[in-house]
Structure formats: C-alpha cells, structure tokens
Amino acid sequence: MPQTQTKDDDLIPAPSRVEGPSRRAFLLDRRTTLDAAPGTETTARWLRTTLGAAFGLPLPDTADENATHSIRLRLDDTLAPEAYRLDVLPDQVAEITGGGPAGVFWGAQTLRQLLGPDAFRKAPTKATAKEEPVAVVTTQTIEDAPRFGWRGLLLDVARHFLPKDDVLRYLDLLAAHKLNVLHLHLTDDQGWRIEIRRHPRLTEIGSWRARSKWGHRASPLWDETPHGGFYTQDDIREIVAYAAERHITVVPEIDLPGHSQAAIAAYPELGNTDVVDTTALTVWDTWGVNPNVLAPTEAVLRFYEGVFEEVLDLFPAATSPFVHVGGDECPKDQWKASPAAQARIEELGVGDEDGLQSWFIRHFDRWLTARGRRLIGWDEILEGGLAEGAAVSSWRGYAGGVAAAEAGHDVVMCPEQQVYLDHRQAPGEEEPMPIGYVRTLEDVYRFEPVPPGLSPEAAAHILGTQANVWTEVMENRSRIDYQVFPRLAAFAEVAWSALPAPEARDYTGFERRMHTHYRRLDALGVDYRPPAGPHPRQQRPGVLGRPLEGTPPIV
C-alpha cells in the first residue's frame, strides 16, 4: 500500500493559498512520466535524483503534452520569478508552473512534502507491485511565493572545518526548506579554508591549528588534536555548481581587516610588524575577538586584491553577485600604537582609526563594484562612514540595519538576539556547551525581519533575512545539526511565508505541523534537537559554555 500522504496544512514553510484537497488523487507509480518544458531542466534532474531514488521510479521523459500519469513542469512569466502554482489534477497529473526556473524548483519541493516523509529518503523502504502506487496526493491547487528574496543561512567553516560533502548536504537541507542563500564564512583567525593559488601558504599554514579550545574560551579544557582542512578550487566550483542547480546563491566571506590571524600567520608581512612580532603568530586556537589585524598598507591591498581575483573566478557573478568582506570586530589597538598606521591616517586624511577601517572597506567596495560585484559586510562597516553601494548584514540587533536602510543601503537582517543558531535552545545544563541567549523554536518563529517603525522607503531596502551558525563549539556535523534544527524550519517559514505580526502567529499550529516535519528530518538523517531535550549522546557534560542569559555570544 502507498504511504499516507502529507496533509496540505502540514507544509513547511506554509504556502500562501491552498484550494482543496478533493477526494480524487494523483498516484505516483511506475507509469509516472516527467514532462519538462524548456527552462525547467534543473528541476527535472532534481526530481529524478530525489523522488526517483526515494521510490525506485524511472520517471521517464514524455513528449506528449496531454499525457496522463505525468509530472509536468512549466514556466509562466506572469508569475514572479520564485512564485509557483502546483495543480494536482484529477487526470493523474501534477503540474508545477513557476514564474522562473527557481519557482518551478520550489514547487517541486512542495510536491515532495506532499508525497510524504519517505520522499526524503535515498532509496525505497517498501517493496511494491509493478502497478501499485508508491505515494498518493489528493487533487488540489497551491499558489505560493516568498516574502523575501534573501533567505539565508551562514555556515561558519572557518572555526571548525566542514568537509565538502557536508556542505553539499547542507545545500540540500536549505533547498528542502526553500532557503536560497548559503553564506560561507571561509576565513578567520582560526583557519583559512579556500585555496588561493598565488598565495599557497594561506592553506599550507593558515588552514591548520595545533589544538582547539574545548567549550567557551574561559574553559580550562583543550582538544589537543590538530584541526584543519580547506576546499580546493575544484571543491569550490563543485559547491557553487551544486548550489546553482538548487537555485541557491553562495556568498563567500573573506574577512578583513580584522579576524585575520590565520592569514597573518601564513604571511607575517600582512600584520602590523612595527608593533607586533608577527613571525611568532600561529593560527589562533581559541575564541573571541583577536587583536591581530591587517596593516593599512598598499601591499596588503594588493595581496587581498589577488585573493579576491581568484575568489571572483570561483564564484561567478551570475550565481554569486555579492561578496562578503566581514568588516566586524576590528580592534584598533595595534593601529593606535603603530607609527606606520598613524602616518597612514594622516596621509589618507581619514581622521582616526575608524576612518582607517572605513578606508579598507571603501577600497574593496570600489574594487568589487568595478568588476560587477556588490560588497556586503557586517554592520561595523557603518563606522567611519558607510561605503557607497555596500550592503549591510545587521547582526548587532536591529540598529545597524535601521541606520543603513534609512540611509538608502540594502540590508540583510540577522540579529544575534533572534537568529544566531549557535545560541542555546533551552535553559539548563543539559544543553551542550550552552552559549549566549536562550532562543527556543518559538522564539525563532516569532522573529520579525523588518524592524518596527521603518519608513516604507527604508523597508524596501530589507533584502531579506539570514540565520547565522558560528561553529566555535560545534566540532562536527552532528553538533551543527543539533544547533540548526529544528529551529531552521521555523526560520524558513519566517523568511518565506507572509506571516502576521509576531504576537499573532499561530505557533500551536506550527508546532503541530512540525510533528510531520520531524519525520522528514528523520528521513534526511538530521541529528536535530528532540522537542523533549537532547539525547545523552548530544550532551557535553562538564564542558563550560557561556550560560548566563542575556550575555552576548562569541563571534
């Protein structure tokens, strides 16, 4: 017998409009064909590799536009590019119509949910007769479109390296939740994770640290195992191509002028050599804000221009229009003490150390703009004057995003108080290495990306929203899964669906829909936090976190 289908109101994220269902049904079986119009080829390939594998079906092509027992993929430019309409018709046809290829793909994600949790497995779990349906969907129509164009997740692979296959897996998890941006945090004090061929020591030296702090930086414990790894240029090309097939933009982050000790350890001349013996620096093995920042020299600019030249080649403009330069948490102590930096401030006429940081950002804003890209940075790039054309990732609450949007700059809202998923999910000592604020599944569900009180003109500059996953205390894939899920499901609905005001949101209904969604996550092999609390294997007893409610996180 076919598995019971998902009810239409069990979908996550919730669609805009559903008509039906009726008593009639679309039966998925070995007779089902795939009719893909030009422009829908990526979704056709994805359906064969997912639904075909999950149910053991060939899903052969058909050229007959009137064929029954078929999944039809169509384009309709009267719809918005990411909008779709899913018609489950009584003549054994499921027709997905998108305003663009991405819309068709999101419609296919909805069809997958309707087919039940077994559609999320990699191979069939039940033997069926040749003519027996493997899944049933009642006839209905779903119309849907996203609220925001930027629906993202930051994955910090610098603090703890995540192997390439795990990054590809996370792209599939983003796609399953209709998220369309992966922000890859590729460099930091604790590691450099992207091959730059003209500067090989960035990965030869900068991608490895001798040991790692185990827990919060105040913890007395250390993991003495050397940690490291990096993505080759072919790895990056594979990640970007895999993402593009799933209509996901990959935003690379190369940090400057702070968070740069791994680069300085590899190339000591990048640091402030007149006040620090940079030849003694190694890749940092603990967490927090690091004092070692880039020197404000022309040689450093040329070095990083070379880095970005290779980065732009790996992340084509068509799929990665934005390049993130960090710009956050840049202590000014070394610049204040450095005669060379002080002379540079006077030479440039930038006034002070904040002006020097702004000079760094403005330089790369102009450099990227000249090459058809857009710079985006953390909200500290507002200090010393916001670079023209730059977009802002607002992480220190709403204030930076409000200031940037009111000044006419585009903003991605990712405030630490609401959507830093490294923060603990519940009070109590059972949470593994508890960091930062308590942010429950309900807290994330009630997050509102558009700050209250924004003028309509400023609100139009909110590109969207992003959840951030900083991995200081996430040493492997399972720990990342635990911190990210199930909260990413709530975040996905906030980013996609047209929800009412936070206080009016139906969290009880969302929680009910999550009962089905947990079964999807189980089928996908996601090691999420159970609603009742962590399994014993998910805990980290005796490892110090930062458990005080209200204290800021480590980033």
CATH code, domain carrying 113: 3.30.379.10
Active-site residue (options: 329, 406, 442, 511): 329
What's the pLDDT at 132? 80
Q: Report yes or no on 369 lying in a domain.
A: yes
Domain ends where: 107, 127, 144? 144
Q: How far are the Cα atoms of 86, 401, 530 from residue 439, in angstroms, in the given order?
A: 34, 21, 15
Q: Are 272 and 340 in contact (CB under 8 A)?
A: yes
Active-site residue (options: 29, 35, 188, 472): 188
Q: What is the DSSP string of 509-523?
A: HHHHHHHHHHHHHHH
Query: Residue 189 sits in a domain of what CATH number?
Result: 3.20.20.80
What's the pLDDT at 301? 98
Q: How many CB atoms lie within 10 A of CB 16?
A: 15
Answer yes or no: do 270 and 383 share one domain.
yes
Active-site residue (options: 183, 216, 259, 517): 259
**Quick one: 288 exposed, middle or buried, by C-beta within 10 A (0-12, 13-18, 19+)?**
middle
Task: Give kind and range of the element (H or E) at residue 142.
Answer: strand 140-144
Contacts 24+ apart (CB under 8 A), 335-342: 335/272, 335/293, 335/296, 337/272, 337/275, 338/272, 338/274, 338/275, 338/295, 339/274, 340/272, 340/274, 340/295, 340/296, 340/297, 341/272, 341/295, 341/296
Answer yes or no: do 246 and 319 share one domain.
yes
Answer yes or no: do 129 and 199 share one domain.
no
Task: Give kind and range of the element (H or E) at residue 364.
Answer: helix 353-369
Rounded to whole angstroms, the Cα distance separating 397 from 527 reads 29
Answer yes or no: do 122 and 158 share one domain.
no
Q: Which two tokens stand for residue 99?
A: 């305003």
Answer yes or no: do 57 and 157 share one domain.
no
Answer yes or no: do 84 and 188 share one domain.
no
- Residue 29 is among the residues annotated as catalytic for this protein: no
Nearest partner of 553 among 419, 393, 392, 413, judged by Cα: 419
What's the pLDDT at 20? 80
Answer yes or no: do 89 and 161 share one domain.
no
Q: Report yes or no on 518 lying in a domain.
A: no
Q: Report yes or no on 555 lying in a domain.
A: no
Rounded to whole angstroms, the Cα distance separating 14 from 24 reads 23
Domain count, the chain: 2
Q: What is the pLDDT of residues 379-401, one digit of tens each?
A: 999 877 776 778 999 999 999 99
- Residue 329 is among the residues annotated as catalytic for this protein: yes
Residue 473 DSSP one-character state? T
- Residue 259 is among the residues annotated as catalytic for this protein: yes
Q: Report yes or no on 79 lying in a domain.
A: yes
Q: Indicate yes or no: pTM above 0.85.
A: yes
Residue 131 DSSP one-character state? T
Domain ends where: 91, 126, 144? 144
What is the chain's pLDDT, residue by residue, as a tens digit (555 residues)?
Answer: 344 455 556 999 999 999 987 777 888 999 999 999 999 999 999 999 999 999 999 999 998 888 888 999 999 999 999 999 999 998 889 999 999 999 999 999 999 999 999 999 999 998 776 678 888 899 999 999 999 999 999 999 999 999 999 999 999 999 999 999 999 999 999 999 999 999 999 999 999 999 999 999 999 999 999 999 999 999 999 999 999 999 999 999 999 999 999 999 999 999 999 999 999 999 999 999 999 999 999 999 999 999 999 999 999 999 999 999 999 999 999 999 999 999 999 999 999 999 999 999 999 999 999 999 999 999 999 877 776 778 999 999 999 999 999 999 999 999 999 999 999 999 988 999 999 989 999 999 999 999 999 999 999 999 999 999 999 999 999 999 999 999 999 999 999 999 999 999 999 999 999 999 999 999 999 999 999 999 999 999 999 888 654 444 433
What b/e sequence results for 189-200 when a residue is b if at least 16 CB atoms lie within 10 Å of its CB, and e otherwise?
bbbbbbbbeebe
Where in the sequence is the domain holding 299, given as residue range(s)?
150-504+523-538
Q: What is the pLDDT of residues 158-199, one digit of tens each?
A: 999 999 999 999 999 999 999 999 999 999 999 999 999 999
Q: What is the pLDDT of residues 457-494, one digit of tens each?
A: 999 999 999 999 999 999 999 999 999 999 999 999 99
Identify the bridge partners of residue 136 per DSSP, sorted by sequence position.
27
